[in-house]
Structure 1
Amino acid sequence: MSQRIVAVCIAAPLVLILGGLALAVPLPYASYSPGPTFNVLGKDADQAEVIQVDGAKAYYDDGQIRFTTVLASGYNQKLSLGAALSRWLDPDKAVVPYDVVHPADSTATQEKAEGAVEMTTSQDVAKAVAMQELGITVPSAIQIAYVDPTGPSSRKLLVRDVVKKVDGKPVATSKDIQSAVETHDDGSLVELRIERDRRELTVRIKPAIVDGKPRIGVQLGQGYEFPFTVNLRVDPNVGGPSAGLMFSLAIYDTLTPGSLTGGRTIAGTGELLPDGTVGPIGGIAQKIAGAQEAGATLFFVPKDNCADVKGLDPDLRLVKATTMHEAREALQTWVKDPGATLPTC
């Protein structure tokens, strides 16, 4: 046997082993894949209406308004070269820098808490914008958006408690509340006057010292003093702000006679701001793929995501969403005439 053949016989297995190792080495990338869609006009796993209204008339009818989700690869789960290549070749998936999905200064616990805060805030902004679209005045407020289950406020404060006063003084901003709490570095109790379920309560909490400052273990968010109650029974494992537009359209539909969708299935995405503007989101291509799989025939795309849908040719109509008001009008126009001219990217 020649030396060349011997060398090949020795080298070939080594090349295969090294190639396999290279494919398995973690890279600084994560992935987005189409996630499930949820019909806000439908019922939850317990067969209860997703939108629950108390204090006003609700109109439940046919049709579906679906918010879309993206499945991101998990915390500390960086893609190998092989996994990245397989996802890159799949048109419904995306490979993105790991730090885009999981910022370097965040932990898994922080990401979960942030997602919960964003979901709570997005729901309440959606309620307010839908009511304002109906001409209902909704005063803004500061509310509890997240309670640390191991912190001082656990079992004392609840998500959506509206903070009216701290230590007897009215508060108008989150900074007012934080500054008041920080005066209790002597271990004294913070007194909060809150509104819960239309009742005012006084809660006293002893702060914990975190990074040298008194903290009560909550995150604050945009809240409102609603004239009646609207609750959304959404899977608690779903977080983030991107369902705001769909929530608001569905709430508007539920509070008005007739079907906003004309009995059809529509979907979309977009963070909703308090003034009704629709903000951009991530994973738009994956959300469109998920909506198409769910049978949607129209999809709302936030204006600032228009560049991200260039080149896509899905089997559903893409409509540009700039504000909730314009999206609602476009939907009503489309229901009357599916071939009508609508805002596009």
Structure 2
Amino acid sequence: MTRRTLSSVVVVSLLVGLLVAAAFLPVPYVTMSPGPTVDVFAEADGRPVIDVEGAETYPTEGALRLTTVSVTSPGVEISLVEALSAWFDGTRAVYPREVIYPPDQTAEDVERESSVQMVSSQDTAVAVALAELGYDLEMRTEVLGVTKDAPADGELLPRDRLLEINGVQITDVAQVAEAVQRTGVGETAEFVVRREGESRTIRIETVAAEDDPERAVVGIEIGNGYDFPFDVRVRIDEQIGGPSAGLIFSLAIYDTLTPGALTGGDAIAGTGTIDPEGAVGAIGGIQQKVVAAADAGAEVFLVPAGNCDAARAADVREDEIRLVRIETMHQAVKALETYTDDQSADLPGCG
């Protein structure tokens, strides 16, 4: 072997080695794949997922499935090979990491935000379902989340209704931060809350906010809740967070409180946020959710109107699952009632 040939072999070997090494280096992307689906008509730990106490409920048939996506965890990095594999897989997607996990958010921040969104989504879903049934509900100010290891951790709980802080009656969300700040850093704030029908007085010592040493905080997320005429609980795995199951929760609650089966005994899936007026909002990962629903055997998928264009591109056969375009909770109820009466009926589609 000549010296030139030997040099060429060495150079090529080094290049191949570098390419192989580069293929397994982490890249700033995350993958999104179809996640598990959950039948909200089923049971969790021996209790109904939709658990109503204090009102008449009715048996139902079929399945109503919320859909999820599996996303690369905040603390996990993927390689170039993994990213390319997902890119060429029609059922998966690749996103820049900063789009899913903003650089200024920690893994704990992401988990807390997801938990807060789920609490708010569930309460709004209950309210919208009851409004569809004719109930007029009163808004309230409540705890949506508590920061781990903060002063309020172990003292206040999600869904505690805030009645007073330091003797001042709480009537809106903005008052809470103002009342805590007036307490002063290192001083004790007195909270009066209603929990499970009982009033409780809880004293919590404030600390300084991380971004402002003069601002007093106790580590709680506050939002709007409702006074419900009876108890409705949504028992769902704590690993499932975010607001995207709002529409499905609302439909399940409505079905539980009305005679007959809203699904007509079929398997229905869907997704979408829900706001207090009953409007259905777009969500992320729609293509992966459609695939997950089809894999779970759903015949119909309820698609937020804002997701219709993307949903049509999901990697499923056209005859595998029917996409129904939804703008409001009321429209979703009517669409399912129409489908139950006649499965071949014309429904608003994404085509």
- TM normalised by structure 1 equals 0.96
Match of 1:137? 136
For residues 265-280 of structure 1, the aligned pairs below 5 Å read: 265-280=267-282
Match of 1:62? 61
Match of 1:40? 40
Question: Is residue 339 of structure 1 aligned with residue 350 of structure 2?
Answer: no
| In 2: Cα distance, 1:273 partner to 1:61 partner | 26
Structure 1 unaligned regions, length at least 5: none
| In 1: Cα distance, 2:331 partner to 2:62 partner | 20
Contact 1:206 1:216 in 2 (8 A): yes
Shift of 1:117: 0.2
Give the letter aligned to residue 2 of structure 1: T
Match of 2:330? 325
The secondary structure found in structure 2 opposite 1:183 is helix
Contact 2:185 2:208 in 1 (8 A): no
Match of 2:288? 286
CA-to-aligned-CA distance 1:118-150 (integer Å, 9 cap, x gap): 011111000000000000111111111112231
Give the letter aligned to residue 267 of structure 2: T
Give the letter aligned to residue 58 of structure 2: Y
CA-to-aligned-CA distance 1:199-219 (integer Å, 9 cap, x gap): 222222211222312111111
Shift of 1:187: 3.2
Shift of 1:9: 2.3
The secondary structure found in structure 2 opposite 1:195 is strand
| In 2: Cα distance, 1:61 partner to 1:5 partner | 77
CA-to-aligned-CA distance 1:52-106 (integer Å, 9 cap, x gap): 1111012232211110001111114333211111001111100011111111110
The secondary structure found in structure 2 opposite 1:75 is coil
- Which of these residues, 252, 259, 262, is aligned with residue 261 of structure 2? 259
Contact 2:39 2:66 in 1 (8 A): yes
Match of 1:194? 193
Contact 1:153 1:217 in 2 (8 A): yes
For these two proteins, the number of residue pairs brought into alignment is 344
Instruction: Out of 314-323 and 188-197, give the one that drifted further.
Output: 188-197
Shift of 1:295: 0.7
Give the letter aligned to residue 329 of structure 1: K
Shift of 1:151: 1.6
| In 1: Cα distance, 2:7 partner to 2:187 partner | 78
Contact 1:279 1:304 in 2 (8 A): yes
Match of 1:6? 6
Match of 2:145? 146
| In 2: Cα distance, 1:183 partner to 1:221 partner | 20
| In 2: Cα distance, 1:5 partner to 1:164 partner | 84
| In 2: Cα distance, 1:185 partner to 1:118 partner | 29
The secondary structure found in structure 1 opposite 2:297 is coil
Structure 2 unaligned regions, length at least 5: none
Question: Is residue 159 of structure 1 aligned with residue 158 of structure 2?
Answer: yes
Shift of 1:185: 1.1
Contact 2:185 2:207 in 1 (8 A): no
The secondary structure found in structure 1 opposite 2:27 is coil
For residues 98-137 of structure 1, the aligned pairs below 5 Å read: 98-137=97-136
Shift of 1:186: 5.3
The secondary structure found in structure 2 opposite 1:111 is helix
- TM normalised by structure 2 equals 0.94
The secondary structure found in structure 1 opposite 2:202 is strand
Give the letter aligned to residue 217 of structure 1: G
Give the letter aligned to residue 181 of structure 1: V
Give the letter aligned to residue 120 of structure 1: V
For residues 11-30 of structure 1, the aligned pairs below 5 Å read: 11-30=11-30
Shift of 1:309: 1.9
Give the letter aligned to residue 248 of structure 1: S
| In 2: Cα distance, 1:317 partner to 1:164 partner | 47
Shift of 1:237: 1.2
Match of 2:226? 224
State the superposition RMSD in angstroms. Answer: 1.4
Percent identity for Structure 1 against Structure 2: 41
Instruction: Out of 241-250 and 139-148, give the one that drifted further.
Output: 139-148
Shift of 1:27: 1.8
| In 1: Cα distance, 2:218 partner to 2:185 partner | 14
Contact 1:34 1:286 in 2 (8 A): yes
| In 2: Cα distance, 1:17 partner to 1:173 partner | 62
Contact 1:32 1:71 in 2 (8 A): yes
| In 1: Cα distance, 2:67 partner to 2:134 partner | 28
| In 1: Cα distance, 2:281 partner to 2:201 partner | 37
| In 1: Cα distance, 2:181 partner to 2:65 partner | 43
Match of 1:238? 240
CA-to-aligned-CA distance 1:163-188 (integer Å, 9 cap, x gap): 12222222232211000000111533
| In 1: Cα distance, 2:260 partner to 2:286 partner | 30
Match of 1:171? 170
Give the letter aligned to residue 31 of structure 1: T
The secondary structure found in structure 2 opposite 1:276 is coil
The secondary structure found in structure 1 opposite 2:163 is strand
Shift of 1:310: 3.4
